[in-house]
Each structure stands twice: as C-alpha cells, then as structure tokens.
Structure 1
Amino acid sequence: MTKKYKYDYSNPFNLDDMDSEKDSIHSVPFWMGLLIILCLGLLFGFVFLIGTLLPTPLTVNDEANYPDSFIADRAAQDLRYLTDLGPKITGSFENEYAVVEYLSLHIKTIISEANPNQYIEMDLQEATGSYYLDDSIGFHNIYHKVQNVVVKIHGESNNTKQSILLNSHFDTVPSSPGASDDGINVVTMLEIIRKLSQREQRLNQNIIFLFNGAEETPLQAAHGFVAHHKWAEESKYLINLEACGSGGKIILFQTGPDAPWLVKYYSTVPHPYGNVIGEEVFQSGLIPSDTDFRLFRDFGNMVGADFAFADDGYRYHTEYDSFENIPLGSYQHVGDNILDFVIKIGNALETTEKERSLGKAIYFDIFGLFMITYSSKTAVILNVCIALVSILVFFLSIVIFRVRINVETLRYLSITTAAIVGSWLLAGIFVMILAVVLDCLGKTMSWYANPWTTFGLYIIPVIGISGCLPYFTKYKFIYFQNFSLNIRGQFQAHLVRLIWTFVLIIGTAAQVRSTYFIMILILFDSFGFLLIHALRLQYTVGIWLIIHVLSLVLPVIYMMTVAAMNFNFFIPITGRLGSQLNPELLIAASALFFTIVITSPLTVLTNMLRKAIWYYLTLAVIFATFIGLLYTPFAFPYSADQSSPKPQRHWMMHTQRQFFLESGELSRTESGFFMLDMDRNSPSILKRYVKELADVESLQDDCEKYTFCGLPLIHPKVAKKLAYSQWIPSSSPEFPQNETLKFSVLSRETLSNTKEKIVIQVSGPDKLVFYITPKTNIKVLSTSLVDILKPSKVTFQSRPVYVLLHQTGKYDGTNVIFDVVVQKPPAFKGPALDIAVSGRYVHESRMHKTPAYLGFLNQFPQWTHVISWLSAYQSHLL
C-alpha cells in the first residue's frame, strides 16, 4: 500500500520530501500542460477576433445627426471613381490628367460650399528636380513634370512658420487599381478637407493637404513639394498616409524624429492603433519598402507620424487591391482617427524646446481601445525601476524561504538558469535546422497560404523543447536536496523572470524602445509573486501556481496581439523578398522569439507534470502530423481564391539587349524574357507549367562583364536579385514607334589634357535608368543630370557605379540631353566609360505584346500574379 504523505509547511526544506512519489503532492497531471496550450490557442483566437473589429461606418444619411463626423460612405463613393479608372501610373493619362482633373473639380466644389469664415487655397504643381536617395544601394532620383495637387486651409493665426502637412499619393503601380495603396487615404483627405471647411471656427494652425502624383516612382513628387513648392518651408509637422496591405485598421508605425508630444495627441483619438515595434523594425531596413515620410523627414526637416494599412498584404501592389475588398469600417477607422488628430494638433500651441528634448517616443495601443505613450527618457527610468522590483522580488523569496546562500544553492540556481537558457538555445537550433531542411526539401513557404501551419511546424516544437532541460532538474542526478518541487517551481519562475530582466536592462542600455514588450511581462510577473507572498500562499499546494498563471493572462494576451500583428505583416512580405533568401528562417525566428516570450513563464507548470512523457509525446505527434501535411495539397503555398488570394508574384519584362563598341558599332543584340524571381519558390515551382523555363540561360558571364549583369533595372533595390533571376531567350519585342530607345553622342569636347566633356542624347519611354561605370583610373567629375554626383553603394570590378533614375510625369515624349565630364590620365587611350541605359514600357494602352510574349504569359497558373512589361537595354563604351 502506498504511504500517505502530508506536506510539512513548517519545514519547506524537509529532506524526506526528496522522494519523487511524495513530490507528487505538488505535481499536476500531464494533460494540464496540453490544456494550457489549448487555452493559449483559444486566447490567440480571441486576439484575432479583437483585431478584426472596426468602427461602425457612417453614411450620408447619418450626417444630419453627426454633422462634424467623418462620413465613410461619401469617401467610399470617391474611391469607387478612382479605382474604376484602373491603374494610375505616373506618366499615364489616368494619373496626369484624369485624377488631377477629378481632384481639382472636387476640391473646387468643397471650397465653394465652405463656411465663409474659412479661407482655402488650391494649387497645382508641376515639379522638376533630382535628389540622391541614400538607401541600401544609393541612387539619384530625377523627375520631370511630376504633379501635385495642394490645398491649404488657413488657420486662425495664419502662422506661416509651422503648418501641418497631410500627404497621400494618387499614383499606383502598374496593374493595380490602388484601392488601399493609396486611394483610401486620398479620399480620406478629401473628406477631411470637406469637414474642416464647414467648421465655423478655424483651427489655430494652417493645414496643408498634399495629393502627390509620383510616389511609386519612387518618392519623387514628395521631393518636388519639399524642394520647390511655395508652402514647403512652412510645413513643419507631417501626417503621412500609406498602405502596404488592404483594408483593416490604419496603424501608426513610424514617428519622429524625437516627437513623443506628437504621439500623445494621437493617443487620444477615437480608435488609437500603433506600435513602436513596427517603427524599429521598419527603420531597420528589413522591410523592402519605403514611404514619403522619409523624404519629408530627411529633406524637409519635418517632424511627424507615418500611418499605413497593413492587413492582407497579399493584395499589396497587385490587381487584387480593389475597391470591393475594403470594408466601410476601414474608412471610418482612418477618417475618425486622422480627422480628430488633425484638429488636436491644429489647435495645439507651438511645442517647447523642453518637449523636443524628451527624445523618441514609446507607444503601443491596448486592443485598439487606448494607447500608452511616454518618452524614451521616461522609459529608461521605468525600465530600471521595474528591473529593480524584479530583482528585489527574487531576493524577497530567498528571505521568505530562508534559503542559505552557499555553494550548493548557487550551484542549483546556476544549473537551473543554464538549463532554461540552454533549452531556448536548443529550441532555436532545432527550428533553424528545420527551416534549412525544409528549404532543401523544396517545402518552403508552406505557411504562406495557410499561416496556421506555423503552429505545428515551429510553435509546438519550441514549446516542447524550450521547457525540456529544466524538466530534468527534478531528477536526482542534478537534484539538490534543499528544495522541494513546490519551491523549485517557484525559483524556476523567478529565474525565468530574471533572465528577461537581464534582457530588459541590456535593451534599455542599447536604447531599444521595443523592450517595453519585455517590461510588461516582468511587471505582471513580479507583482504576481508579490501578491503570492503578501497572501502567504507560497507554501500552498497549487494555489500559488494558479495565482502565477492568472497574473500572466493579460501580458500573454497583449503579447499575442503583437505576435499576430508580426505574422500578419511578415508572412505576405516573404512573397517579395527574392529567391536569394530563405524565408523559413525569418518565420522560424519570429515563431521562436514570440513563443519563448509568451510561454517561458509558464514552463514551470510543464516541469511539475506527472507522467510528462505523455505530454512530450503528444507534442511530438502534433509536430509529426504537420510534417506529414507538407506532403499534401494543404501545404501548397499559393491560392487563386479571389476572396482571399495568396499569389506568387512575378515581374516580367520582354527585353531587347544591345551592346555597342566604342566606335558605335552594334556588337551583340539579343532578346528574351527577363523574369525577376520574387520569392524562394521561383522558378522551381513553375517548371511543370512554363515550358520555356527549361531554356533558361545562365547570367554568370554577363554578371562578370557588365554592370548589374547587363539587365534593365526596375528599381535599384532589385540589384541584389538580378543574379538569381531568369533570362529566357525569345523573339524580339515590339516597341511603340514614338518611344523607341535611342542613344547618341552629340559631341565630345576636350576641356584640358585630363578632362573631357561628353554630350549625350537619349530618347525613349517615360521611365529610364542610367548606369555610369568609369574604367579603372577614370573619374566621373559631374553630369548635368544632377547637381552633385554621388556613386551608389555597390561597385563593379572595384569601380564605382553611378545609378540615375529618370521619370517623366506629364509625358509628351522623353528626350534627355545631358553631359558627362570625366577626368583621365594624360595620354589615356581607349574608352573611359561603360554607360548603359534601360527604358521600361509599363502603360498597357501604349504597349503591344507579341504573340510569343502572350503565349509565354498564358502558361502561368492562376495562382500567380504576373506584372508584365517591355524593356529596352543598351550598353555603350565611350
């Protein structure tokens, strides 16, 4: 018969308690661990539902009862007109004439119906200029006749020293109607102008609305405003409205520089939604996108806030970004928030130097109900205080349990800490190896169409492995006989918190504002144990554990909202990272981090399980089941479902390449389909559909002989993808006769025995890219295309490379005449420059696709999204 055992509360270090059978008074059945995982899954479902809730939209019929409120229904009517125009590409009739006319007439009507106390001006701007964009590649951005529609609502003070600027763009990428990117924000600004124009009382500050017509080119019209518009100098505060998804809620994801006071105004809007984690991730360069916010900040010295729609990123820059996919609640969400935000900062007094000195802002919303915000200086004080509380709680436990600090105790604490950290590292190694193995097996991105598969592939093994080593500390080969299971469990929980406390201290010292995320966990965990000790529950059987778990519910729910936001954002992005990167590593790393942060304080429970082998076996079966699913149709990464598309993206150009000698003689010409691989599965997953992929030619020789492999650049950022892309020989493309790419040298002038000026003329389509690569020992001193010439951050054969994008807005034919001044050693013979130019033809109404091109494109399955253009490329020796 089993001996009954009564725990001696007066002697928590009773050595008789060593017996594992007697330890069971504090242990729990193995199914409790599985129940916790099930509860976590249910909590995640709750978090997901909360995230989808949108405000009730107001219709035109509601306006009588809500005269000062944003009317979502009217904004939607405006957006329907814009999306019915189709793609609005810079340089197209739709963008340069149809939209500009619509906005102008609409704004004139609003002005005519405005309250007589309001003073509103409208200006149409045509901008020409250039600037150097210092990104990962570095290139010159040159624009000619790009357009802006600008509206100014004068404030009460008519202070022309610090006006507030709202910006959105009406141009789109080719193939996309641009409902979210950026149509919904354009019509939101129209409705805000209407509402402000009808107010009896003016705002204190001037409000300037910039509808810019060249953001996708990239970021040109914003520079045109900053550099050349009459109202640019007075624009000091910015609200930028963008999208990298479709519908949902608009999120504040970037602020500054150094503007915590600005975030405080936003924190009181009706539906605050934003997170500083998004800001730090975006500014890290991990995301392959940029917004006009950067231009206004870096070139206009503005302080502001950057907002974007980020849900359903699969639709971003595709034909699926359509009017039908944006619920009316999304209009109300952005409209309520931005209208209220504008009114608040429009009536605010001028910020003081003290407010400016507070540093960057930490901000995060709580389920979209309210927002917490404070400065980075406050964050340092708060984080340090909470870290001290965490440490004091640990030492309080030592005092309460009357633990003697000796070698045995330190050894136990050290080994337990090592076991905790070791388990995390083991989990990390496992999922990283798994990510590599899945990639090698051709099973990458199985979660792209079905994100829930990350649960079985990565989250389950992390949960199991990250708690395994501490579990074995209860066995005698590393079991220290001063501790009962009850106390060992509490000390393990303390040690987990101390590890995160150490992370918090390091993150605070490194000025990582996202450490607030860890601070919340430490705060609730610490106060949970303070409550346990205050109620003297530390010796109870199970009650302390219940208090500990309950104290973590709120931080776990919050951390799940951030995790959901992370996966919702990053999983669609993996479809455009390029084939050179393994996206499994990114998703595995995300799953590892969030799973450990969320579950690590709960692993104390799994280490108190009876018959824990069944818990671990169950997790292993779940993992094996999901591995098995990889070999079923459920794991196919893409979907053509119109209601929820998950397309594989492709950028395709039917290209003619021509290479000329120094004499001007054509030495080589060829044509083909240039396919830019946008994700890891391209082109392998397509080979059974597209027969021409069997004829792919290697680009290695061209990559060694020519700058950027002798291929047309869509954007300098894709330069890193060129060597991983496909060149498929084909018949020649057919170009519009009045847009044929032509290159000629008009003159060569010797300025001195070491300097020469070469005058060049290039005509062609509205989108051109110039690549200038001097020969060894040659310097390019200047070009009339830009004021100050700077090299890009990439080199070719140890030679500098100059990249210049050229975009024409109001297109009436592109004819660019420019000079290049070079410095050569005395008596230098031979060509001084490799200069190439590529032209891109993106307007469907002005391009003709040959039968061969159409036949090639028609082979792509429905679950692909192919943006197909024409391009011409010429390389010259000068």
Structure 2
Amino acid sequence: MSTHSPTRWGPVKSLLCLAPLLVGVPLLAFRVNYALPEPVVDSVNSATGLPQLSEARVLAHAKYLSEDIGFRTVGTREHAAGDAWMVQQADDIRRQCEDVVRAHPTKKLECEVWHQQGSGAHRFDMMGHRLYKTYVDLTNIVVRISDGTPEGKQHAVLVNAHVDSTLPSPGAADDALSVGIMLECMRVLVNTPDWSPSHAIIFLFNNAEESLQDASHLFSTQHAIRDSVRAAVNLEAAGTTGREMLFQATSEEMIRAYSHAPRPFGTIVASEVFSSGIILSDTDFRQFQEYMNVTGLDIAVIGNSYLYHMRKDLVENIEPGVAQHMGENVLGLLLHLSSADSPLPRLTEGFTRPHTVFYQFLGLFIIYSFRTANIVYAALFAVSVVLARAVYVDPAPALRTKSMLGEHVKSAAAVATAVVGAIVGANVVAVLMTTGLGKGLSWFSSERICVLLYAPAALSGRCLVLSRCHTLLTDVLYAGALASQLLFGRLRERTTFVSVILSQSVMACAGQLLGIGSAGVLALTASPMVVAIALNAFLTKASDDISLWSYAIAIFTPLSVGAQMFYITLDVFVPLTGRMGEEAPAEHIIASIVAGIGAYMLPLLVPFVHRFGRRTIARATILCTMATAVTIAVFSMRSPFDQMHQKRVFVIHMENITTQEQHLHIAAADSAPGFPQLAQRIAEEWSVPGAVPMLMNMDAWNNDWDVMYPVSAVLTPYKFEMPLRPEHLDVIDHGFAVSATNDTIDRAAGTRSLTLVIRHPGIIWSTIAFDAHVVKWALDDNPPDEYARHHVKEASFYGHDAWTLSMVVKIPEHDADARIPVNFVGIHEKAMWPGKVAEKAHGGRAMQLFEEFDAWLERETAGTVDALLLGCIGGITTV
C-alpha cells in the first residue's frame, strides 16, 4: 500500500531540486567561517585621529621575535634576548603613558612595569604520567594599566601570552603573534584620549610556557599583584587556518564579556571538547585556574599551519587578517572588562562552572542560560509530541495510540541505527586503510579531503542499515503484536520525519539535564524542523509526500551548523593526528568525526529515502559502496605528506658521558606508513656497516628521550650505533654531573636525607629520573607513598647551570645505604638544528652531524619531513 502521491518526483529530480541548498549552504558556512577583516596598516585612524590596532605593527613585533631573534627555547641565548627586548617594549609603553599624563594632567592613567625573576617547582601531570618541574631564575614582564587609585587596582583582568617558542620553532604564531597583539592593545589603550580604566588590566608576557608553563606558575604563585586578578584571558595558537576562536570559557560572566568583542567566534562544543582532555594540548590557562582559582577565557588564533611544519612558523605563513581579527576582539574584550560595566568585582568569591550555552550561527554569536535552555528544550519536546500525534492518521481509531507508538518507535530506531551505521561504515574503511592496506593518514595533507574518503562509506553504512532495519524491526515488533502498522512495507515518511524531531528534542533535553551544553546544537536544528513540518500542512495534503520546500526549510540549519563544525573540528584535529602516536586511533577519530558530523548535517536522510522505497535505498547503497571502493583505491595511492604538511620526526644525537658511547635516536609521532623504511635508509647511510635499526621500547625507563618526557610516550623510537669518526674519539667532557650533599642516614627512622646537586654547564632542559620511596622532598607536600619511578625536569634562565633537589627517602631492605641510581640527560644549548644554525661551529659533533643529516633528509624525502634535531648529553650515576 502506498501513502505517496502518484505525481511525486523521483529521487534524482528531488535531489537536483535540493542541490542548491546541499551545496550552497556549506559554501556559505565556509565563507562565514573563514571570513577575516581587512588588515590595517596605519597606527592612527586618518578620519578620527585616534589610535587604532594595526596588523602591520602586530606582525612587525612577531617578525622581530621569530626571525630577528629566532628560536627562543627556554634557557638559550635567544630566550634571554627575547626577554631583554620585552623589557624594552614594556618600558616604552610606560614612557608613552607618562607622556600622555603630562599632556593631560587630569587624566587618570598609570602604567607600572615589573621584571619578575624567580625560582620554584610544581607538579605537572600530563598524558596520564606524573611529572615534576623545577625552574631557576625564570622571568616575566608584567605591565599593569590602571587609573592609579587603590580602588582601580583592586579588581584586575590578566591577559597573557608567552614570549618563548617551542623546541623546533621560531614561534611566529605560537606565540609571538599574541605578544604583538598585546603590545598593540596597550599602545591603543594608553593613547586613546577619552579612555580611563575603571578596573586594572595586567599584561603578562610570560617567558616559559613551552617548558611546561613554568613562568605562568611563577606569576600565579609569587607575584605581588596576583591576588588582584579576578579573571584571566590567555592568548594562544592552534589549528591551521581561519580566525581566532574561543577554546575554553569557565564562567557565564566571562562568556558574556566575550560577546562584547566585535567579532566573537566560538562554540560550547569546542569548549567542552577541549575541557574533556580529548585534544592533546594544554596552555598557561591551567596554571591560572589551579593556583589563582580564577575564571577566564582561553583564546587561540587559528591562522597558521605551524602544527604541520614547526620550522615554518613564520610571519609570512600567517594568513592576512588573522592578527586584525584576534587583536580587535581582544581589544574590545579588554575595553569591556576594564569599564564600569565589568563583571570583575562580582568574581571576588571565585567562580563556578558556567551554566551558559553559546555557539556560532552564520556569523551570529548566540548565548543563553541553562535555565532558558531547560524551558526552550522542554517546549520543543512538547511540540514534537503534539506533532507526532498530528501527523499520524490511522483508519482504525481503536488502535490509534498503540499503532502510533509502534510506528514512532520503529522510526526512531531506524534513525538511531542509521547514525550507528554511518559511524560503523566509516570505521570499517578506517580499519581497511590502516590494518588492511597500511595506508593510514592518507588524507593528512589536506584538512578536509578526508570527507571524500569517509563520507561515501558513512552513507553506504546508513543506507545498508536502512535497507535492513525494516525487516529486523518488523520481526521484533510484530512478535510483540504492537500494531497493524508494522505490516506496511516501508516506514512512513511523515512519521519518520517527526521521529527525527522527537529524537533530537529528547537528546537535547537529556543532554541539558546532564549539564552538557553542547546538546543545544540538537535543539538548534530540531526547531526549524518543527517549523517545516507545521508549514507542510499548508503545502500538501495528508496523503502526499512531504513537500520539498519543507525539506529545504528543515535542512538549512543542520547543513550550516554542521558544516561549520566540520571546518573547525578538522582544522584542529587533522594536524593533531600527526603527533598522537602510533597507538592512538587517529584514523578512527577522523572517520568518526566525518560520520558523526555528517549524520548531524543530514538528519532527514532517513525520511527522505523512505519516500522512494527499499529499491531506491538498495541502489543508493550500491552506488555509495562503489564510490567507497573508488576512494579507497585513490587514497591508497596518496602520500600523506607534502612540503606544507610534513611528517614530524624527532632526532636525538646522544652522547653518553658514562659509557663514552654515541647513538642516534629517531622517532615519529604518527601512524602513517613508511617510517620503518625511512629508519632502515637512515641506518644504511648513517650507522655502522650492516646496522639494523633497533626498535626501542618507549617506557618510563627509556631515559634517552627524557628531555621530551612525557610527550615521548607517544613516540615510536629507533636506535642506531654511530660510527666513530676521528673527530669523535675525544673523551666527552661537558661538566654535566649529579652528586649528593647534606647526606645523612637515620637508622632509627629508616630514612636517608640528601640534596641532589645537578650541574649542567651549557646544557638546558636537564632531566633526572630515579627509583625511590620518597618520604619528603622540596617539590611538593605529597610525594607518592610507594617505591616509584620519578621524573624531574628543569628549566632555567640562560647562564644558570645548577639546581638542587632536597629529599628524604626510605631505606630499602635490600640496600642499607639507600644508594640511588640517577639517570640524567639534557640538551646541549648550542646543538639544536635548525635553531642554532648561526652557532653551529660551537655545537660540537652533534651539529656537524645534523648539518649533513638534515640536508640528506631533505633530499631523501623531497621536503616532506620536518625534523627536530637535538644534541643531548646524558649518563647515569649512583648517589
């Protein structure tokens, strides 16, 4: 029995009718998502005569830091040069402030500068590993702008960026761009005639984020004005291209404050995903939360592909308009937070988890409270229930309720299993690409090309489920004798359409009750579906198919919101897969993202295909399966990497001062094919004759990689013996040593007290690892109450070559003297390639090797590998 009009269009004609929306809406979302303002060059607006934020000036600051100074790894000479330059910039702002006050004596404005220097220690758990950090004489440059009164300084907002760069990077986007934005914000604020802050702004230029957030810990625990901070705004970098985005927001007040930015951009989905820890990333925001207990915002610029090629994190690769967008948003936010309308005074009692939903919809920043969400989502559910009854017509009134329930249960199950089918279908292809063909990460060289690989598989999975679900569900439900409706040969289009609304409204309500703000995107897409089905009553008769106009109205929102989620998610996750490690399910993560968001974008696929019957579904399944086979064949021939999307490889030249041995270690952090073959070629070219690469076990006792611990846990390392060239035969003597002082044993207490002294002249990021049952130490008040492996990492300012660790350990039964073997390793300050190219003559045998090795690697891989080359010194001693 057919419930369709005999004059209905077929699937091809219907799809062609909807094609402008299916194609045009994602393109519109793309344009909105990546829209950037025109860069401003002039520092003063020629029309108003007022200072304005200039992207040209921001980029000039970033260029000086990243290219004139260069690789600012904590502890290096360049790091010290960056610190000195920042002090000059802060002093210049103070002079500008004083000039403004002299010119306008009644103006309330004061700029204070601190060059903080200090030492400390903190625990830094990461990736499931326990780690301790200690630092010596690290610095911060702090500028406070206020009205000069005690009342004006009582409540402050902290805005932060880090001056240092990560190991293999000059750090233009990460994080010199943010430094330049903060400098420009200060210049504009100070020189704006009618601006006077009601509340203070503290600009923190911290000097050690990449060494695991040491300098932000220093400010948060030791600076004199830390207690005046009510909120923190952290500026960072992530992703590949696009605009700046709000990644974390920890209170409703700060989310609403962000809405005062001229172009706010962010979603609660991104915030909740980031906060969950799924994304392998962390920022200084963690220190401000943990040690100052303040709320705030974590804002990242997504405007540079530095995650692909760390060496090329240069100003020339930053997209025009990115700095302007982020800078104007930060300036607008600071103007609001420093005004009389600021929420800062209300945050004196701390903060609680935000009960606020916010998301981006075609350029609009929508924000509402959980209370509003509860009301709206409940109303949406009630309306969908009414619609469920309204669209159902049964010739047997006595069976109406039971039949309606059975039909909707069947339809809802079909909708749910279709989503599951999409995810399963995509992940089957992921298994085939990785385990079957050994072609993982074939999509890595383009952020969105993975859609071509996994979308057909997701569609074929959904269609296959739909073609089978009726028989299965009929058998199950007919056995329960629910209703005569189960005898129909296909699902009712109208009923299934409303079941989609019911399903999304139920999930929105359930998610909201569980405190999951991301459930709002389901309510967002269900609402126009309600409008569409209501309008359909005026467009069609009860016996007709649903009007294509109703489909057009209903799919606009999920297409636009889903497309935007696609762009943002893939921009962040695709480059991150290059550093997830061999064991991480990178392929399955991307496959699930494509399938899950694809199902969100096309929620009405189920009712739409059921308007044409099972034969059409079967044909669609065959077509999608054929398309999947073609894309698998095409992608299996692709190389994952190119010159702009490179494979991340880590290389360590290790000089062991205990054994006088030298080894080359090479590791990768992705599951892409080809690394074992590359390791073999390296062994043939650079190791001793006949050498076979040794695949090493990466665990807590593999101390050769301790300078990168615990990130080293995701690496797949090989080890090579180095040939002894004549210049390598000299005895290695770097002065690197670990000793014990203040060494006493208390037999009655069964403990040993000692102070480890680690001397590391010319060596940075020194790390020690040892096994002991620590009772007490200087790192924190809660060492593990057991015999355990401990890792302690150091970061110090340039020229500081020693640090200490005092502790009390239990004397083990097997060793009355409690002797402790200590592994130690660090990076030769002048042996990092390419960061220390200018000083290669002073980098020892490691730099001699790296210059040749890097050139060979460039030729061998055609520029598709980005290698971090570190010259390390290590050994073992017993204290």
CA shift for structure 1 position 789: 4.9
CA shift for structure 1 position 280: 1.2
How do residues 640-651 of structure 1 correspond to structure 2 at under 5 angstroms?
640=643, 645-651=644-650
CA shift for structure 1 position 728: 2.1
Partner of 1:492: 496
Partner of 1:7: none
CA distance in 2, matches of 1:155, 1:538: 69
CA distance in 1, matches of 2:314, 2:729: 30
Partner of 2:746: 751
Q: Give the letter for the 2:870 counterpart.
A: W
CA shift for structure 1 position 355: 11
Report the TM-score when normalising by structure 1.
0.87
Percentage of pairs with the same residue: 20
Change (3 A) 1:460 1:698: closer
Task: Pick one of 550, 554, 569 that aligns with 2:557.
Answer: 554
Partner of 2:427: 432
Partner of 2:627: 622
CA distance in 2, matches of 1:61, 1:629: 50
Task: Pick one of 6, 10, 14 that aligns with 1:32.
Answer: 14
Q: Determine whether 1:94 maps to 2:78.
A: yes
Q: Which runs of 5+ in 2 are unaligned?
A: 102-106, 476-483, 831-835
Q: Give the letter for the 1:77 counterpart.
A: A
Alpha-carbon deviations, 1:61-94, whole Å to 9, x = none?
Answer: 7522251431222222222222222111111222
Partner of 2:771: 773
CA distance in 2, matches of 1:651, 1:740: 26
CA distance in 1, matches of 2:395, 2:353: 43
How do residues 446-485 of structure 1 correspond to structure 2 at under 5 angstroms?
446-471=442-467
Partner of 1:235: 229
Alpha-carbon deviations, 1:43-71, whole Å to 9, x = none?
Answer: 32332232221112222175222514312
Partner of 1:802: 790
CA distance in 2, matches of 1:149, 1:869: 29
CA distance in 1, matches of 2:729, 2:141: 35
Contact 2:427 2:588 in 1 (8 A): yes
Contact 2:307 2:576 in 1 (8 A): no
Partner of 1:696: 693
Q: Give the letter for the 1:91 counterpart.
A: G
Contact 1:245 1:316 in 2 (8 A): no
CA distance in 1, matches of 2:543, 2:52: 56
How do residues 537-686 of structure 1 correspond to structure 2 at under 5 angstroms?
537-539=540-542, 541-542=544-545, 544-609=547-612, 612=616, 613-632=618-637, 635-640=638-643, 645-657=644-656, 670-681=661-672, 683-684=675-676, 686=678
Change (3 A) 1:105 1:356: closer
Alpha-carbon deviations, 1:680-723, whole Å to 9, x = none?
Answer: 126236257534497222435x95xxx4323332333325335x
CA shift for structure 1 position 648: 0.4
Q: Determine whether 1:54 maps to 2:36.
A: yes
Secondary structure in structure 1 of the residue aligned to 2:645: coil
> Aligned residues, how many?
825
Change (3 A) 1:333 1:76: same
CA distance in 2, matches of 1:181, 1:875: 35
Contact 1:180 1:245 in 2 (8 A): no
Partner of 1:255: 249
How do residues 382-421 of structure 1 correspond to structure 2 at under 5 angstroms?
382-398=376-392, 404-405=399-400, 408-421=403-416
Contact 1:755 1:824 in 2 (8 A): yes
Q: Give the letter for the 1:766 counterpart.
A: I
Q: Which runs of 5+ in 1 are unaligned?
A: 1-17, 659-665, 793-797
Q: Give the letter for the 2:649 counterpart.
A: H
- When the two chains are superposed, the root-mean-square deviation of aligned CA atoms in Å is 3.2
Partner of 1:443: 439
Contact 2:208 2:216 in 1 (8 A): yes
Contact 2:693 2:718 in 1 (8 A): yes
Partner of 1:4: none
Contact 2:425 2:460 in 1 (8 A): no
Partner of 1:11: none
Q: Give the letter for the 1:812 counterpart.
A: G
CA shift for structure 1 position 231: 1.4
CA distance in 1, matches of 2:809, 2:546: 80
Q: Give the letter for the 1:194 counterpart.
A: R
Alpha-carbon deviations, 1:453-489, whole Å to 9, x = none?
Answer: 4233211221232144445678999596689899810
Secondary structure in structure 2 of the residue aligned to 1:332: helix
Contact 1:33 1:609 in 2 (8 A): no
Change (3 A) 1:415 1:378: closer
Contact 2:764 2:829 in 1 (8 A): no
Secondary structure in structure 2 of the residue aligned to 1:208: strand
Change (3 A) 1:751 1:688: closer
Change (3 A) 1:351 1:516: farther
Contact 2:771 2:821 in 1 (8 A): yes
How do residues 4-83 of structure 1 correspond to structure 2 at under 5 angstroms?
18=1, 24-26=6-8, 28-30=10-12, 32-33=14-15, 39-60=21-42, 63-66=45-48, 67-83=50-66
CA distance in 2, matches of 1:44, 1:736: 64
Alpha-carbon deviations, 1:510-532, whole Å to 9, x = none?
Answer: 21111111121122212222232
CA shift for structure 1 position 165: 0.8
Contact 1:739 1:763 in 2 (8 A): no
CA distance in 1, matches of 2:682, 2:20: 44
Partner of 1:198: 191
When structure 1 is superposed on structure 2, of 763-772 and 101-110 the one drifting more is 101-110
Secondary structure in structure 2 of the residue aligned to 1:120: strand
Report the TM-score when normalising by structure 2.
0.87
Contact 1:110 1:194 in 2 (8 A): yes
CA distance in 1, matches of 2:9, 2:240: 49
Secondary structure in structure 1 of the residue aligned to 2:226: coil
Partner of 1:310: 302
CA shift for structure 1 position 418: 2.9
Alpha-carbon deviations, 1:578-601, whole Å to 9, x = none?
Answer: 122231110011111111111122
CA distance in 1, matches of 2:375, 2:412: 27
Contact 1:269 1:337 in 2 (8 A): yes
Contact 2:136 2:803 in 1 (8 A): no
Partner of 1:829: 816
CA distance in 1, matches of 2:802, 2:401: 83
CA shift for structure 1 position 157: 5.2
CA distance in 2, matches of 1:536, 1:542: 10
Partner of 1:277: 269
Change (3 A) 1:263 1:142: same
Alpha-carbon deviations, 1:352-399, whole Å to 9, x = none?
Answer: 4799678343221223x3311223343333333323332332233337
